[in-house]
Amino acid sequence: MNDTRNVTDEFKGMSEEAITKILDSRGSELHIAIENLERDFNIGSIVRTANAFGVRHVHIIGRRQWNKRGAMATDKYLHVKHHPTVNDFVAHIGTTRQIIIVDNIDGAVDIQKAELPKSSVLVFGSEKSGVSDDMKAKATAIVAIRQLGSTRSLNVGAAAAIAMYEWTRRHIY
């Protein structure tokens, strides 16, 4: 069989359901949430990165539509849930998860020094406007990725990859 999907050899020839079941059995506790992003390539990139780091749940808050090309079909093996509002998202995740916003705004703590509990939801917002005030009010913490260059911010997909790596480094590696 010539399986041309973007999956590792371990999963070649397996159904989407079988792959999802295996990944669910060994996935991480980390959840990812994306708020205020437009229908752009970044959401797909974040979903693909979430898959790479064993994240099983991605929450999209606000607009339902997103450009799935960047996900390279990895969304088929994750649990992607849409929430129309921040309140719907918070009600869904309950009180067992810490909401950690990743943004370089005033008052954010350096991600290297911040607590990133095992039961975290890392939240990423628009490069233009960040996360909403409603989300900031629900957050346990806001963390930033320290930068050395002249640019004001990282691409949100790149920031998500760094933050997921940092969480994974602490809790899995």
For residue 24, what are its two tokens?
A: 């669910």
Cα(172)–Cα(144) distance, integer angstroms = 21
Per-residue confidence (pLDDT) for residue 152, from 0 to 100: 84
Cα(121)–Cα(160) distance, integer angstroms = 12
Q: Check residue 72 and report its DSSP letter.
A: T
Mean of per-residue pLDDT scores for the chain: 94
Span 115-131, pLDDT tens digits: 999 999 999 998 888 99
153 and 44 Cβ atoms separated by less than 8 Å? no
Proportion of the chain above pLDDT 70, given as a percent: 98
Rg (CA), the chain: 16
Residues in the chain: 173
- According to DSSP, the residues that pair with 141 across neighbouring strands are 100
Q: How far is CA 129 from CA 8, 114, 126, 153, in A?
A: 36, 23, 5, 12
Per-residue confidence (pLDDT) for residue 9, from 0 to 100: 94
Span 95-106, pLDDT tens digits: 999 999 999 999
60 and 66 Cβ atoms separated by less than 8 Å? yes
User: Which residues have CB under 8 Å from 104's CB, separation 6+?
Assistant: 144, 145, 147, 152, 153
Per-residue confidence (pLDDT) for residue 120, from 0 to 100: 97
Cα(11)–Cα(158) distance, integer angstroms = 26
Domains for the chain: give ranges and CATH numbers. Answer: 30-171 (3.40.1280.10)
Per-residue confidence (pLDDT) for residue 1, from 0 to 100: 66
Per-residue confidence (pLDDT) for residue 11, from 0 to 100: 97
Cα(152)–Cα(33) distance, integer angstroms = 22
Cα(103)–Cα(20) distance, integer angstroms = 30
Span 10-62, pLDDT tens digits: 999 999 999 999 999 999 999 999 998 776 688 999 999 999 999 999 999 99
Q: Supply the pTM of this predicted model.
A: 0.95
For residue 90, what are its two tokens?
A: 């918070």
